[in-house]
Structure formats: structure tokens, C-alpha cells
Chain A
Amino acid sequence: EPEVTQTPSHQVTQMGQEVILRCVPISNHLYFYWYRQILGQKVEFLVSFYNNEISEKSEIFDDQFSVERPDGSNFTLKIRSTKLEDSAMYFCASSATETLWEKLFFGSGTQLSVL
């Protein structure tokens, strides 16, 4: 079965540093998402991306966050200046051209630890 791939699986960084989380969505999917899950908390929506632009973003997704699809396969989330509260598991997800709720595939996540 096709899968969403995320790298790295773990990322440790110092507060104030920039991090880039990488995702390779399923090849024929056109809708891409980032979610995060703080330890013990619920999965929270960050941003959706379609046709090379942001479709929707949550209030968590402030100016410190950005997303990019630099080529035909990668989808990245950049945090410019990390804060302690950015520590979380970050999930990338993708879906096909059909309605969102038909099938959303999640990657295994990147565990980000900000020290």
C-alpha cells in the first residue's frame, strides 16, 4: 500500500533555531496537510496546501511557520525560530482528488524536541 514518508523521525534542536521537517506524500495525491500532536494532547490541524498554495491554516500556524512544495515530490514544514512549546510530533498527511473525508493518509511523524 502506498504511504506517506516523513524524515527525520526524530529532530532535536535548540530554542531559536530553524528546523525543516520533510514529507513525501503519496505520488498521485494533490492535497497536503500538516498536523501536530503535543504529548498527551489531541492531534491539531496546522495547515492545508493545494495547487501550490495554502488553502487553510489554523491559529497555531503563525508567521514562524511556512510550508513549501519545492519539487514534485517533497512537502516541507519550516519553523523559523523554534520555541519550547513547538515540541511535538508533527504529522504530514495527504489525500487524493476526491473529497477530503474519503481517505486521509498520515505519515509516521517527526518527533520534534526543542531544548
Chain B
Amino acid sequence: TQLLEQSPQFLSIQEGENLTVYCNSSSVFSSLQWYRQEPGEGPVLLVTVVTGGEVKKLKRLTFQFGDARKDSSLHITAAQPGDTGLYLCAGAQSLNRDDKIIFGKGTRLHILP
């Protein structure tokens, strides 16, 4: 069974600070995705990384896929209160269209104004 471990579990920082959260596994994933989930809502896809070493930027968010495709990180620059939420990483076991995505437990981020 492939597991995704996310760390830290909780993070509370001041507005304007930088932060990095991590998603790690002992298994290789064909792709990793990062989602953000608001209370009472479903996960919303932020980015998908496919190639080992790949870096993608989404405004102040930088996502990186490890060279070995076993881990990923999300870095937020100059965090804002609007970044508050649950950040989930999820991995696809293969590239098959009907394959399932496995989720980590998430990092709950709280940005203090």
C-alpha cells in the first residue's frame, strides 16, 4: 500500500512569512497533485507535477516534485490570510485513466493577520 505522509500536520504563522510543507512517500508515484480544501467543501486542484525534479509556480506558491518522484513540497512566499486552509497532496499510482488517487492527511495552515 502506497502511503503519503504530510508534514507538518498543523502550521500557524504570521502574515508575510514564508513557509514550506512536505509530502513524502517510500513509494514512487507517477504524478503528485496538490489540493486545497476549505471547510465544508471538496478539494480543489492547485497543481499536478509529473516529471521528477519538476517545479511549478502558481503566483506565490511553488511546487516541486522530487527527483525520485517519491516526495513533493509546497512553498508559499509572503503568506496571506487567504492562504488559510487544508493543503492535501495526492498521488496517482499509475497513468491509467481509471486509476485511483491516494490522498495524504493534509497540512492545516493558518495564517494570522
List A residues at the B interface (Cβ < 8 Å).
4, 31, 33, 35, 41-45, 48, 50, 55-56, 58, 91, 93, 97-109
Contact A58 B45 (CB under 8 A): no
Contact A41 B105 (CB under 8 A): yes
Q: Does B113 contact A (CB under 8 A)?
A: no
Contact B103 A44 (CB under 8 A): yes
- 11 examples of A-B residue contacts, CB within 8 angstroms: A42-B104, A45-B100, A45-B102, A58-B100, A100-B99, A101-B48, A101-B95, A104-B33, A104-B45, A106-B42, A108-B40
Contact A31 B42 (CB under 8 A): no
The contact size tier of chain B is 20 to 34
The residue that A99 contacts in the complex, of B43, B95, B105, with Cβ under 8 A, is: B95
Residues from chain B with Cβ under 8 Å of A103 in the complex = 45, 48
Residues from chain A with Cβ under 8 Å of B40 in the complex = 108-109
Contact B101 A101 (CB under 8 A): yes
B69 to chain A, nearest CB (A): 13
Residues from chain B with Cβ under 8 Å of A42 in the complex = 88, 103-106
Contact A100 B92 (CB under 8 A): yes
Contact A55 B98 (CB under 8 A): yes
Q: Chain B, 26-41, contact with A by CB distance < 8 Å: what is the 0/1 string?
A: 0000110100000011
Residues from chain B with Cβ under 8 Å of A104 in the complex = 33, 45, 101
Which residue of the partner chain B has the closest CB to A97?
B97
Q: How far is the CA of A21 from the CA of B38 in the complex (A)?
A: 21
Residues from chain B with Cβ under 8 Å of A106 in the complex = 42-44
